[in-house]
Structure 1
Amino acid sequence: MWQLLWLLLPVAAASGWMAARRTCRNESGQERGAVFSADYIKGLNYLLNEQSDRALEVFLEMVNVDPETVETHLILGSLFRRRGEVDRAIRIHQHLVDHHRLVPAQRANAILELGRDYMKAGVLDKAEQLFSELIQLGYLQAEAYQWLRGIYERERDWAQAIWASERLCEFSSEPQNQRIAHYHCELGEAARARGDRQEAAHRARKALSFDHDCTRASILLGDLAREEGQPRLAIEHYERVLRQDAAFIPLILPRAGEAFQALRDTDGHEAFLRSVRRHDGTVCSAVALARFLNERDRRQPLEELLGEEIQGERIGLGLVLEYLRIKLGRGEAGEAGVTGVAIRALERHLEERPLYGCVRCGFQSRSHFWHCPGCHGWSTVRPLDRVPERRPETSLTPPGEPDPSHR
């Protein structure tokens, strides 16, 4: 109930403003503002009493009597949509679209909201038709292209998503390069999956032409080079990630390790890991170097590394687990039974803990996503030891509905 009251505040404000504008009298001698306010109070009472259908009839009749209530009805339609009553939102907005006395700008706003209603309902073809109509009419084109792009993302039609984003650049000053780069990477990964490495590499390079800091494209090029038996070239692509965005280093460490192993370049691998640790300084880079040294029985540098990390200000559970494993394996862990219990407890804890989190909405997962399932942001899901404290969500877009502000 309280949530509904808060949602009705904009409606009350709009109705009050509209009523204040009316000072003339109608044929019966009543003030139009008084009639307007009385009808709205009646409709709002129906809403508060959960009689949505009766409220809807009152509001629709008011549009027939007075088209100056359009803005308030747009708010009411959005209210129904947020409450999940999409059928009622569609009815209000369709009624506005069909109203013959609306000026073109008012009708365009109604078409936009009707398209959003159909998006919410999952009727994407109808929503696409409405947004395309807006573009043809020459109204609200930036918003229309944003919502079209959201449709193409949901349908995974990346070529059309590229088209909509490039067209959006003509009507919006906000850069679209990062998003377009991801669309090319999506096409590249699809090409790689069907065995078309040439097309995959072309799409990755295209992505870098839009966003030279696109780590996803560099990783894709590195993976393609490894598959084609070019480990040295693969390493060059992975090393570029260090300069592009160090947050994604955990994604390249195992890949680079396989490339160095293919080259049998132990010295180069160690130099790479030390460079990553200096550059990155997170737990995952320290653990990777510790495992490398332990596997090669490099005791002194391993002890120096573990000593530095254990005494450091930021020690992660992953490093503690690796430290105990190494000590137990060498018979240096005191009571082996106690250490074994500690290792199993840490393993169980770390196996259940999410590895990645979204810096925008707080979504967490053990799998990495380039496109956040929560807020639909691109490149916002990162390794958790790099994710800052969750920022408050400011978007009012309902869950599951693409938000044009996420671009």
Structure 2
Amino acid sequence: MFEGFGLVVLLLPIGFALGWTVARRHIQQGAPGAAVDKPSDYLAGLDAAGTDDADTSMTTLIQAIEVTDQTADLHLTLGSLFRRRGEVDRALRLHQNVLAQGGLAAEFAYRARLELAHDYQKAGLLDHAEKLFGALVDEGLFQAECLTALVGIYEQEHDWDKAIVAAQRLQAVRGESLRPVIAHYHCELADLAKADGDFRQAERLAEQALSESRGSVRASLVLGGAREALDDQAGAIAAYQRVPDQDLRFFREVMPGIERAYRKADDLRGLRGYLKEAEKDYPTALPSVTLAKLMRESGEDAAQFLADRMSRQPSWSGLHALLQEVEDLGEPVRVLRSAIENSMKAAPSYRCRSCGLTPRFLFWQCPSCKQWDSIEPLPDDIQSIPGAS
């Protein structure tokens, strides 16, 4: 019942417009015979729209109104409205009906192909949509719209090579840079190469990503990982240490890699030096927490070191590390540390600035709104303890 009522609301404005067109043509032409039946067919369509038989109402209206240069625009508009409502089958029928008509002005045939391509994409028939969008691009039609759709299709199919080509063409058409997104496509290919064990290829692709976007945090992380696997620890450290300069918020993402590479290079002294400089330069507790771990390994008083740091810059991660150093004080300390650890694990770690999604893991493309680089780390290390002064 409600579906039928919703369709009435959708059809009536367009139905009246179609009826007006038919009536006008009927008066102008004064044609006898079959043309006289058209208004009654139109009224029958509206009458069917008032019932629950939504398909009958649409079919009757389509049959009542011949597709001409005067009515094609209304047919196309009605089809796009159906698609936006999620009724893709009806949209397809309308747009295919327009496209099947001969003798229409070229602009309507072009638009029917475009709308049909969008219908196919909405229906998940990506191969059909890709062919139509690609043909329109090759003919120089609707370039920006079609290339945008093709980029979305290639992303959905994970066809990153085609996505790179389409995005490069799109940025030329739009006159605006898409290089940060193209860098992500290179990183996707690099991740695939790493999964196949081809770390040299992953390194090359990560370097290509950085040539597209020097500020790509992801590319630096991928490059560092590839060089680690190739046992180029100095190169890995150089790649990883670029991240805080690119975006300090991602320091916690890169700190494990930095520590790993220094340890593989058997250069704990160099790691200490880096962390001490990082303590000065970066407003986060993570360098201090990592330094405390190194101090504990060498038998130094890490608890006093952390207590001093926490008195100047209190943070949940720092307090958690400090409680780890003083667990021998008894069960209450262990309970408190466990409570803080559970709270930190339960809290969101990231937030999408575009749609507000708060995932626990880092996605380079938001799984909700599909925007690239929109997910940011939430400030856990630099977040002050509530009530602390």
SS of 2:151's equivalent in the other structure is helix
Asked if the contact 1:145–1:167 (Cα under 8 Å) also holds between the matched residues in 2, the reply is yes
SS of 1:174's equivalent in the other structure is coil
Alpha-carbon RMSD across the aligned residues, in angstroms, is 3.6
SS of 2:175's equivalent in the other structure is coil
| Structure 2 equivalent of residue 326 of structure 1 | 325
Q: 1:7 to 1:227 in 2, by over 3 A?
A: farther
Q: What is the letter of the counterpart of residue 170 of structure 2? A: L
Q: Equivalent of 1:262, from 261, 264, 271?
A: 264
Asked if the contact 2:292–2:302 (Cα under 8 Å) also holds between the matched residues in 1, the reply is no
Asked if the contact 1:111–1:130 (Cα under 8 Å) also holds between the matched residues in 2, the reply is yes
- Are 1:143 and 2:142 counterparts? no
- How many corresponding residue pairs? 370
Q: 1:254 to 1:94 in 2, by over 3 A?
A: same
**Structure 1: any 5+ residue segments left out of the alignment?**
30-34, 387-407
SS of 1:171's equivalent in the other structure is helix
- Are 1:241 and 2:243 counterparts? yes
- 1:43-80 deviation line (CA, Å, top 9, x unaligned): 67866765431232244235525543333333322222
- Are 1:308 and 2:320 counterparts? no
Q: Equivalent of 2:217, from 205, 215, 218?
A: 215
1 CA distance for matches of 2:294 and 2:58? 68
Q: Equivalent of 1:347, from 341, 347, 358?
A: 341
Report the Cα offset of residue 268 of structure 1: 2.9
2 CA distance for matches of 1:44 and 1:342? 70
- Are 1:368 and 2:372 counterparts? no
Q: What is the letter of the counterpart of residue 324 of structure 2? A: R
Report the Cα offset of residue 299 of structure 1: 4.1
Asked if the contact 2:136–2:146 (Cα under 8 Å) also holds between the matched residues in 1, the reply is yes
Q: What is the letter of the counterpart of residue 343 of structure 2? A: H
1 CA distance for matches of 2:80 and 2:228? 51
2 CA distance for matches of 1:267 and 1:10? 75
**Structure 2: any 5+ residue segments left out of the alignment?**
32-36, 381-389
Q: What is the letter of the counterpart of residue 79 of structure 1? A: L
- 1:144-170 deviation line (CA, Å, top 9, x unaligned): 111112111111111111111122233
Larger RCO, structures 1/2 (Cα 8 Å, 6+ apart): 1
Q: What is the letter of the counterpart of residue 340 of structure 2? A: L
Q: 1:241 to 1:155 in 2, by over 3 A?
A: same
Report the Cα offset of residue 90 of structure 1: 1.0
Q: 1:229 to 1:75 in 2, by over 3 A?
A: same
1 CA distance for matches of 2:335 and 2:47? 64
Asked if the contact 1:283–1:385 (Cα under 8 Å) also holds between the matched residues in 2, the reply is no
Report the Cα offset of residue 138 of structure 1: 2.2
Q: 1:40 to 1:224 in 2, by over 3 A?
A: farther
Moved more, 264-273 or 186-195: 264-273
Q: What is the letter of the counterpart of residue 114 of structure 2? A: L
| Structure 2 equivalent of residue 26 of structure 1 | 28
Q: Equivalent of 1:191, from 182, 188, 193?
A: 193
SS of 2:242's equivalent in the other structure is helix
Asked if the contact 1:14–1:72 (Cα under 8 Å) also holds between the matched residues in 2, the reply is no
2 CA distance for matches of 1:143 and 1:65? 25
Q: Equivalent of 2:275, from 273, 276, 301?
A: 273
Moved more, 247-256 or 267-276: 267-276
| Structure 2 equivalent of residue 403 of structure 1 | none
2 CA distance for matches of 1:337 and 1:138? 73
Asked if the contact 1:293–1:302 (Cα under 8 Å) also holds between the matched residues in 2, the reply is no
Q: 1:321 to 1:228 in 2, by over 3 A?
A: same
Asked if the contact 1:62–1:69 (Cα under 8 Å) also holds between the matched residues in 2, the reply is no
- 1:109-154 deviation line (CA, Å, top 9, x unaligned): 2222211211121111111111122123321022111111211111
Alignment of structure 1 residues 374-385 onto 2, 5 Å = 374-385=368-379
Report the Cα offset of residue 260 of structure 1: 1.7
Q: Equivalent of 2:106, from 100, 104, 107?
A: 104
Identity of aligned residues (%): 33
Report the Cα offset of residue 383 of structure 1: 1.6
2 CA distance for matches of 1:344 and 1:44? 68
Moved more, 348-357 or 275-284: 275-284
Q: What is the letter of the counterpart of residue 368 of structure 1? A: L
Determine which structure has more spread, i.e. the larger CA radius of gyration: 2
Asked if the contact 1:149–1:165 (Cα under 8 Å) also holds between the matched residues in 2, the reply is yes
Q: What is the letter of the counterpart of residue 325 of structure 2? A: I
Asked if the contact 1:231–1:260 (Cα under 8 Å) also holds between the matched residues in 2, the reply is yes
| Structure 2 equivalent of residue 225 of structure 1 | 227
Q: 1:283 to 1:89 in 2, by over 3 A?
A: farther
TM-score (norm 2): 0.81
| Structure 2 equivalent of residue 126 of structure 1 | 128
Asked if the contact 1:7–1:79 (Cα under 8 Å) also holds between the matched residues in 2, the reply is no
Q: What is the letter of the counterpart of residue 309 of structure 1? A: Q
Report the Cα offset of residue 271 of structure 1: 3.6
